[in-house]
A = this chain, B = another copy of it.
Amino acid sequence: MKIVLDAMGGDTAPDTTVAGAVRAAREMPVDIILAGDRPVVERQLARYSDRPGNVSILHASETIGMDEPPVASIRKKKDSSINVGIAALRNEQADAFVSAGNTGAVVSAATLNLGLLPGVERPGIAITLPGLKGETMLIDVGANINPKPVHLLQYALMGEAYARFVLEQPNPRIGLLNVGEEETKGPEFIKETYGLLERAGINFAGNAEGRDIFSGEYDVIVCDGFVGNVALKTAESLAYAIKEVLKRSYGMSPITRLGAWLSRSAFIALRKEIDYAEQGGAPLLGVSGVCIIAHGASSAKAIKNAIRVAYESARHDANRHLAEAVRSYAPT
């Protein structure tokens, strides 16, 4: 299996991306192709004396910045690492694409150059979050900020198939993000989606609330990209604030620090809970090809984990199952 990684994408690329690729190449039975500026990437790779043989470079002379306008930049920078990586996927030189770069640019490039799965009208970003009772996949967290009810229906069908066939959950529980549990709650747009999900032939468990995103009560929660994006960033922001508060407190006294060291098992569990970005990448569901979006601030470990998500998606032939789920949709 071949996975192409956008070596130039991310807040600390290419250092972190190359480090993550090297770790992934050692742990997984995959060939990693680094899309990026050859001399720059080569210099990073040269730092590894025991450089793995299953890492190669695919030259891309341009880089799209994290804040560049997505559609304009992928049109203008034809030879950007994102375009070159997506092209490798389209030309079947690779089985999956991973990027921690400009999310909007990745979504646009994938949509325009790979096309969508049959029957899918819009792609959605599906992020997996840890919860007390298990993981929850939230879809969409920002690809589609103005969706129609039918788009949310397609997210539910694809999320269900992904949870079932890639995450290997036997009967995924699907929820619809709303402001209350009752069917009558929420704006018209959400009530209409509720009706569609009820008749979608999936295990639809009704409305979920913001509090369910970390409760683990649902395997998949469907929402519009605007709300999903805000919820995700709110959670990140709170997690960051909590980490900062703890860090500052550590600085206070040697006793406090000793205490923190003694109770490190608690802190390790805590860090695992709040560093969900480390868990890996978010699949862009609905495009014709395995595309994984990683957080811009990904560490090497997070990049490695995103590559693992790509590996699992490709290994389980995710898109065949997603297309099948959307195609075989018949309202009950």
Question: Chain A, 271-295, contact with B by CB distance < 8 Å: what is the 0/1 string?
Answer: 0111000000000000000000000
Interface size class of A (residues with CB under 8 A): 35 or more
Which chain B positions have C-beta within 8 A of A227? Answer: 226-227, 230
Given contacts A214-B240, A262-B256, A266-B246, is CB(A209)–CB(B226) below 8 Å?
no
Let me know if B210 and A230 touch, CB within 8 A. Answer: yes
Interface flags, A26-42, vs B, CB<8A=1, else 0: 00000000000000000
Q: Taking chain A's interface residues, is the majority helix, strand, or loop, or is none over half, making it mixed?
A: helix
B residues within 8 A CB of A142? 179
Total copies of this chain within the assembly: 2
Whether A210 contacts B232 by the Cβ 8 Å rule is yes
The answer on a CB contact under 8 Å between B214 and A145 is no
A260 beta carbon closer than 8 Å to chain B: yes
The one of B229, B234, B242 in contact with A270, judged by C-beta atoms closer than 8 angstroms, is B242
Of the listed stretches A45-53, A84-92, A163-171, A247-255, chain B binds: A247-255
- A220-231 interface mask toward B, CB cutoff 8 Å, 1 = contact, 0 = none? 000101110111
Residues of B within 8 A of A112 (CB): none
Query: Taking A230-B177, A230-B231, A231-B234 as contacts, is the C-beta distance between A265 and B241 under 8 angstroms?
Result: no
CB distance from A272 to the nearest CB of B (A): 8
Apart from A145-B179, A211-B236, A238-B238, 12 more pairs, CB < 8 Å: A145-B187, A179-B226, A210-B229, A210-B232, A210-B237, A211-B237, A223-B230, A231-B234, A246-B269, A248-B269, A250-B263, A252-B266
